[in-house]
Amino acid sequence: MSNTVNNPKTREWQELSRAHHLAPFTDYKQLHENGPRIITKAEGVHLWDSEGNKILDGMAGLWCVAIGYGREELVEAASKQMRELPFYNTFFMTAHPPVLELAKAISDVAPEGMNHVFFTGSGSEGNDTMLRMVRHYWDLKGKPSKKVIIGRINGYHGSTVAGTSLGGMAGMHKQGDLPIPGIVHIPQPYWFGEGGDMTPDEFGIWAADQLEKKILEVGEDKVAAFIAEPIQGAGGVIIPPDTYWPRIREILAKYDILFVADEVICGFGRTGEWFGSDYYGNKPDLMTIAKGLTSGYVPMGGLIVSDKVFQVINEGGDFNHGFTYSGHPVAAAVGMENLRILKEEKIIERVKNETAPYLQARLRELADHPLVGEVRGVGMLGAIELVKNKATRERYPSDKAAGMTCRGYCFSNGLIMRAVGDTMIIAPPLVITKQEIDELVEKARMCLDLAYRDLQG
Ligand SMILES: *Cc1c(COP(=O)(O)O)cnc(C)c1O
């Protein structure tokens, strides 16, 4: 990141950061030295920083700004709701119209048989809710020994204690003595990184079979649920081989355990279907949601619960769980308006039929670049693997920081593309146009060229 600052306000804000702000997922010393880039406004798929630079947001904020920035309708929905009823809780036998209407609207687009929604303030809280509900469910079913939840190495399910534990990020587990007991992990279906000499299809079967192996190792009578993202997002946009989900479905059908899809990234159109589970034909019992639900304009998450699970919970007396902001009326009103726009403007259809095929075709043109070992993607998700040797998939030594080098060039050339190790990832707003996709891919190629030049030197 460049340290040249021309606007005196930028300096001031960076000083405030140094003096007072503890940012998430940040190396504080590094932040202190460099100061943050200050983002001041946004419109459509573009951001502006305090230095006046215009930046194409290839990450939709943080996977969330589905309908793009600057939609007045969401502003209107929020201000109208704030005037009418800015807050009331949904505890203790009360409700308000926005939360009820949103629960119905979500059920309408959710897979068949998923008609109940528990609202939270975030995706992490959605997964905490899931953990408590799933264990409560098995207690009510008279199987209190079923408590273990199986997640995946390098999965991401949020940053609370339960979210971090369910996820499989080693760097996160190290801080806070996690995972908590009762959560175990299986390998991820990451062929490019871990497939060795297997074909992608062989590796997909191998990775799926790890679930069965783990169920047998722990004991079916102890396993409550399996949680997975349809496509791992934060782990590096990991698209499972075609054989993976069908094999997982076969295994899940054999054992009496619940299946939780973490749809926080894949939900609300990112794959070109309403949910990643629709894209793969999976039939989860519970789905965690957040991010695209409100396009990130206000925080909101939740857990969509199937009729099957609901029927048991419904007979269980009090569910002693909830958040002050569960079903917050302003967030619900914004969520309703966001869903209306997604539907009425046929944004998901356009992603599926026009813009995602275009993005995927254009991204794959980058596969010929000498630095690129693989390009993959689904819908409005993409990953570019940086390698030293295309044939062997050998990486650059980590001190070369290939991914960070490329990300730095993206930042300074007006493109936000994230680096997960040496995997460059994108997830632009769903409303990105073909012309803006051209801008994204051209900038990405230029930054790959610049990074390649450095890595050669
Ligand atoms: C972002 C994310 C979460 C956590 O959501 P927060 O709103 O940040 O708590 C959970 N699961 C997945 C798959 C995510 O990408």
Please give the number of the atom of ligand 1 that sits closest to the Cα of 233.
15
CATH number for region 72-344: 3.40.640.10
Chain centroid, CA 369 distance in Å: 27
Q: Which residue has the least CA distance to atom 3 on ligand 1?
A: 158
Sheet holding 39-43, edge to edge: 39-43, 46-49, 54-57, 415-416
When pLDDT is averaged across residues 122-147 and rounded to a whole number, the result is 98
pLDDT computed for residue 427 by the predictor = 98
Q: What is the dihedral of CA 249, 250, 256, 258, to 10 degrees?
A: -10
Predicted structure pTM score: 0.98
Q: Does the beta carbon of 122 sit less than 6 angstroms from any atom of ligand 1?
A: yes
Question: Ligand 1: distance of its center to the CA of 142 in Å?
Answer: 31
Band of residue 4 on the pLDDT scale cut at 50, 70, 90: confident
Neighbour tally for 199: CB within 10 Å? 12
Question: Ligand 1: distance of its center to the CA of 225 in Å?
Answer: 19
Percent of the chain with pLDDT over 90: 99
pLDDT computed for residue 3 by the predictor = 58
Q: Does the beta carbon of 156 sit less than 6 angstroms from any atom of ligand 1?
A: yes
Please give the number of the atom of ligand 1 that sits closest to the Cα of 234.
15
Q: Does the beta carbon of 158 sit less than 6 angstroms from any atom of ligand 1?
A: yes
Neighbour tally for 85: CB within 10 Å? 13
37-67+347-456: CATH class: alpha beta
Q: Which residue has the least CA distance to atom 6 on ligand 1?
A: 123
Asked if residue 1 has pLDDT above 50, the reply is no
Neighbour tally for 252: CB within 10 Å? 21
Q: Which residue has the least CA distance to atom 2 on ligand 1?
A: 158
d(CA 145, CA 131): 14
Question: Ligand 1: distance of its center to the CA of 456 in Å?
Answer: 36
Domain positions in the chain:
37-67+347-456, 72-344
Listed residue (228, 308, 302) closest to 260, CA to CA:
228
Q: Which residue has the least CA distance to atom 14 on ligand 1?
A: 264
Band of residue 226 on the pLDDT scale cut at 50, 70, 90: very high
Residue pLDDT, tens place only, 367-411: 999 999 999 999 999 999 999 999 999 999 999 999 999 999 999
Q: Does the beta carbon of 120 sit less than 6 angstroms from any atom of ligand 1?
A: no
When pLDDT is averaged across residues 317-337 and rounded to a whole number, the result is 98
Ramachandran angles phi, psi of 333, nearest 5°: -65, -40
Listed residue (309, 209, 202, 190) closest to 251, CA to CA:
209
Question: Ligand 1: distance of its center to the CA of 379 in Å?
Answer: 19
